[in-house]
Amino acid sequence: MADTGLLESLLRLVEKVDGGIDSQDVAVSLGVDHQAIVGAVKSLQALGEVISAEQKSSKHWELTGEGCEIAEQGSHEARVFNAIPAEGLPQNQLMKMQSGKVGFSKAMSNKWIRLDKAHEGGPRVFKTVETIEDTVRDKLQLVQKGQSAKLEEKEKNELKKRKLLAEVTVKSYWITKGSSFSTTITKQETELTPEMIASGSWKEKKFKPYNFEAMGVAPDCGHLHPLMKVRTQFRQIFLEMGFTEMPTNNFIESSFWNFDSLFQPQQHPARDQHDTFFISDPALAHEFPQEYLERVKKVHSEGGYGSQGYKYDWKIEEAQKNLLRTHTTAVSARMLYKLAQQEKFTPVKYFSIDRVFRNETLDATHLAEFHQIEGVVADYGLTLGNLMGILHQFFTKLGITKLRFKPAYNPYTEPSMEVFSYHEGLKKWVEVGNSGVFRPEMLLPMGLPEGVSVIAWGLSLERPTMIKYGINNIRELVGHKVNLQMVYDSPICRLDS
Amino acid sequence: MPTVSVKRDLLFEALGQTYTDEEFDELCFEFGLELDEITSEKDIISREQGDEKAEGASDVVLYKIDVPANRYDLLCLEGLVRGLQVFKERMDAPRYKCVSPANGGEPQRLVITEETASVRPHAVAAVLRNITFTQERYDSFIELQEKLHQNVCRKRTLVAIGTHDLDTISGPFTYTAKAPADIRFKPLNQSKEYNATEIMSLYKTDSHLRHYLHIIENEPLYPIIYDSNGVVLSMPPIINGNHSKISLNTKNVFIECTATDLTKAKITLDMIVTMFSEYCEEPFTVEAAEVVYPDGRLCVYPELAYRTETLSGDFVNKKVGIDESAESIAQLLTRMCLRSEVSGEGDHIQVEIPPTRSDVIHACDIMEDAAIAYGFNNIVRSTPRTYTVANQLPLNKLTELLRQDLAAAGFTEALTFALCSQEDIADRLGKNIAEIRAVHISNPKTAEFQVARTSLLPGLLKTVAANRKMPLPLKLFEISDVVLKDETKDVGARNNRRLCAVYYNKSPGFEVIHGLLDRVMQLLDVKPGRNQGYHIQAAEDSTFFPGRCAEIFTRGKSIGHLGVLHPDVISRFELTMPCSAIDIDIEPFL
């Protein structure tokens, strides 16, 4: 708290004026530093509505160090002029003066002095006029007295260029009387203490009002990552819908499970080096369910199960190649194969949310790894209408009710549908996922009964999260370049609101 | 997904109707296409090369249409129009016919020699007789070959197409393979002759052709096709000869496709002739050509095979979830270029698969077409009655519960990449890559994707480094998978779920990280103690500062380490403050 004397002097000044006073003027009239007045204003503000103070900033001109010196001792050119006696002064001697160099050229251009180069004993400088008027000094003195308004803009800029003047910004307060203005100061209590409660002294005390405009103190806590918060919600939705989680904790997969088992031909572009990360160590998978592998080979190369097949030379070497899985559907394939090995088929609903990898070109929305959300239902007699119905329920839980479906192509589903939802903000239909019915060429070699249909859909976790949290660059969300402040500040995730 | 670019006005003219952009977009959506972009040549050039270059370019409106990757019959204007007109029941699907040469003439013959066996053993051929090209048709003909090359031909590795002005050459043609030095001809649009080696180096810098050189570059013999006078037709899969180049005035086109995959070669040939026989004097009629194999076998191409499948209306209704009569399903299929009729036997439908629909390989493909023609969005959405009980994966359940409590303990969750550089998991942690059971990636585009991580620590330290501006202390954690080589698994590797946390501040804060371990163990209901509980014991680990590292044991089994990081590790991650860390395997707590 600033000293009470100063506070009361300030208050008395404010009392006298109508309409308020500038803190700079207060400083001048009380003869104290402006900073002390600023301190006093803050102290008074803390006492409640004694005064009201509005911050404002003003610009004014001030002399630089050199400017002060000139205001006191005269301009360099005047000092040079004054140093020259009637008989003149050798130039080299003049140049040794502190103001010599600048003063000489200025005085020359003012035509106050002349240089006789041919003078015997070296060049010599002579006065050319009797008296001079040191306007630079006069102008600076005006500024010093706070009368800079008397100078023209051009003159001020000229002096600024010579580094004699500087324009400075001063933050000051416009002080007016507050609603509970008084010229005397009553000390207010800040907080209730145990002693006051014990003694009852709180009854006589006046408490400082709280500033309800200020923010509270941030609690000391940890934070969950936004993408993981969204993952938790998607997990919750699947669990609410009765889906069982698949074990997707195997990033390394064989081409067999990632592609061949899904009836994706060996020349398919997705199996290119350009699209998929292959593994050099351990390069090959070494164990496959042999009978099933033979059936997969046959359906690719010759067909069967009502299919023409792809009619090409299927190679085990291609199927053995290890890779970083390109989709979690590789796990769905393993799970469906496992299901087919059961004594008796039982309907299942599976889901997973986990990482997948693509050796693709990276940009603001694509990384080499992302999370795939996948749902799978296997039962007798499922229809395309069922797939749409279940997608409708799923997306309703995400707060998306307007859906439509576009025919699409996917090597392992037939029919395949892209899922579009109407985006109210963009006023257009946007793709929100992919779906389809697994092909018989995938299911029947596994040993699933003929009448069983398997419907499935997938979407990425990153895209809805970026939309939810308003993030444009995926690197700000996923990976080490994340902005932790964003993590700290991100709200809880409710997908349906 | 391939994108086909067509002139809007030409398309509307062929469709016999104009549409607004929205209407056409809607039609595409229904049919399974996507109107991806509306643009013009001028727009494209100005976007790619700047406004100046675009001056004077055509501003005719172009539609860029995304076509499903298996629909090769929609890769050109002719095919798109045919598909949409049949879909809208404005025309019947044409029947494609393969005929012998007129007036009892001899068919063109392509003889394959055995030298081709090692490099590109298959070839098919056909003739388009009395065709009329216009500039648009010609451009579309060239563009279709390019689209087929990029898609079904897998960038010319499986199939390469050559089209020739038949009137400039004379059969029989020989498809053989020769040493590059022994091949000499004037390549398409070149002014002089080169030998094959020179041709290959000539195209090293060609923005288009250089991508195909690798296909034969290292072969001792290059594939080559001659006519009976020794004129070179083409050196597949690189370039045609200039001599037989087709032009707007070409009347008769000889088409050859050489291949490493015969099925794909037949499909490719069928596509070209079905699309462009439309412009022949007798539309949709193709003249057969003979191909003689080294073993004397003679085959006639194009196959233009029609196949009949029989399926029941009930099958379609049950799979789609609709209730339509067999007749109406037959009508739906006919609109998809699958001419169908009810056979009279129950609700059986006879479906004829034309040569343009190589994508139809199973009844489910036919069922899908019925659903598309019915309209996906007209199908009633219904909930399956499948009753199941949900289960969480125990490992993920544990992870979810621990994450919540680690955040409650004041640590913030990071989410770092599963792929990283060798340096991240080895050198920077003070380890030797040779001693780490890491999975290595064979084709990383950058060092960031050399290995699957074997530790979560590098990711957390990089997260700290990227957030050095944040107020201290930084307390981060991650529970996620690392990947380790494991011989006992079918693929030779397995994931391992780990918990890692770091404390980064002006002082190392070992006690903070130690406290976190105690808290985690409390959450997992493991008491301190040597036998059934957990304890830590001094250990040496090159990642940690000597004397400031301990190994963590639960029930006598090592599960990880904690300690103060080695100053070298800290510097290698571009950090400046002391840091302590814990890294444990959580799978033993399942």
| Cβ-Cβ contacts under 8 Å, B321 against chain A | 383-386
Which residue would you say has higher pLDDT here, B413 or A364?
A: B413
Confidence of residue A142 (pLDDT cuts 50, 70, 90): confident
In B, minimum Cα distance to A227 occurs at: B415
| B167-208 pLDDT, tens digit each | 999 989 999 999 999 999 999 999 999 999 999 999 999 999
Tell how far CA B408 is from the center of its chain: 44
Q: How far is B530 from chain A (nearest CA, A)?
A: 31
- pLDDT for A2 equals 56
- What residue has token string 């890491």? B438
Q: How far is A100 from chain B (nearest CA, A)?
A: 51
- pLDDT for A425 equals 79
Which residue would you say has higher pLDDT here, B368 or A98?
A: B368
Least confident of A18-22, B108-112, B118-122, B280-284: A18-22
pLDDT at A120 over 80: no
- pLDDT for B103 equals 83
Q: How far is A310 from chain B (nearest CA, A)?
A: 8
Average pLDDT of the segment spanning B95-119: 92
CB nearest A223 (choices: B363, B412, B419): B412
Confidence of residue B427 (pLDDT cuts 50, 70, 90): very high
Distance between CA atoms of residues A322 and A320, nearest Å: 6
pLDDT at A1 over 60: no
What percentage of chain A reaches a pLDDT higher than 70? 99
pLDDT at B345 over 80: no
Distance between CA atoms of residues A400 and B332, nearest Å: 31
User: Taking all residues of chain A, what is their mean pLDDT, rounded to a whole number?
Assistant: 88
| A316-346 pLDDT, tens digit each | 999 999 999 999 999 999 999 999 999 999 9
- Judged by a CB distance cut-off of 8 A, whether residue B500 touches chain A is no
- pLDDT for A3 equals 73
pLDDT at A182 over 80: no
- pLDDT for A111 equals 83
Respond yes or no on whether the N-terminal peptide bond of residue B384 is cis (omega within 30° of 0).
Answer: no
CB nearest A245 (choices: B391, B404, B462): B391
pLDDT at A184 over 70: yes
For residue B579, CA distances in Å to A183, B473, B503, B567, B576 come to 56, 10, 6, 9, 9
Average pLDDT of the segment spanning A413-437: 91
pLDDT at A494 over 90: no
As a residue count, chain A comes to 497
What percentage of chain B reaches a pLDDT higher than 70? 100
User: Taking all residues of chain B, what is their mean pLDDT, rounded to a whole number?
Assistant: 94
In B, minimum Cα distance to A266 occurs at: B154
Distance between CA atoms of residues A283 and A470, nearest Å: 40
* Max Cα–Cα distance, chain B, nearest Å: 100
Whether residues A250 and B474 touch (CB distance < 8 A) is answered with no
| A24-44 pLDDT, tens digit each | 888 888 888 888 888 888 888
Whether residues A357 and B367 touch (CB distance < 8 A) is answered with no
pLDDT at B454 over 80: yes
CB nearest A377 (choices: B321, B384, B392): B384
Contact A465, A227 (CB under 8 A): yes
Whether residues A440 and B465 touch (CB distance < 8 A) is answered with no
Distance between CA atoms of residues B520 and B509, nearest Å: 17
Average pLDDT of the segment spanning B268-274: 96
- Judged by a CB distance cut-off of 8 A, whether residue B411 touches chain A is yes
Distance between CA atoms of residues A155 and A168, nearest Å: 17
User: Side chain identity at A14, as an amino acid letter?
Assistant: V
DSSP single-letter state for residue A476: G
Closest CA to A460 of A419, A428, A493, A488: A419
- What residue has token string 């502190």? A98
pLDDT at A98 over 70: yes
Orientation of helix B21-31 relative to helix B77-87, angle to 10°: 80
pLDDT at B453 over 60: yes
Q: What is the ipTM of this complex?
A: 0.91
Average pLDDT of the segment spanning A282-299: 96
Whether residues B495 and A250 touch (CB distance < 8 A) is answered with yes
Specify the pairing of strand A428-438 against strand A452-460: antiparallel
- pLDDT for B312 equals 93
Confidence of residue B538 (pLDDT cuts 50, 70, 90): very high
Coil, helix or strand for A440? helix
Q: How far is B52 from chain A (nearest CA, A)?
A: 28
Contact B32, B68 (CB under 8 A): yes
Whether residues B445 and A253 touch (CB distance < 8 A) is answered with no
Distance between CA atoms of residues A396 and B218, nearest Å: 57
Q: How far is A190 from chain B (nearest CA, A)?
A: 29
Closest CA to B357 of B74, B31, B67, B14: B74
- pLDDT for B384 equals 92
Contact B293, A358 (CB under 8 A): no
CB nearest B318 (choices: A228, A309, A381): A381
Establish, for the pair of chains A and B, how many residue pairs have beta carbons separated by less than 8 Å: 285
Q: Which residues pair with A355 in a beta bridge?
A: A371
Average pLDDT of the segment spanning A60-80: 83
- Judged by a CB distance cut-off of 8 A, whether residue B440 touches chain A is yes
pLDDT at A15 over 90: no
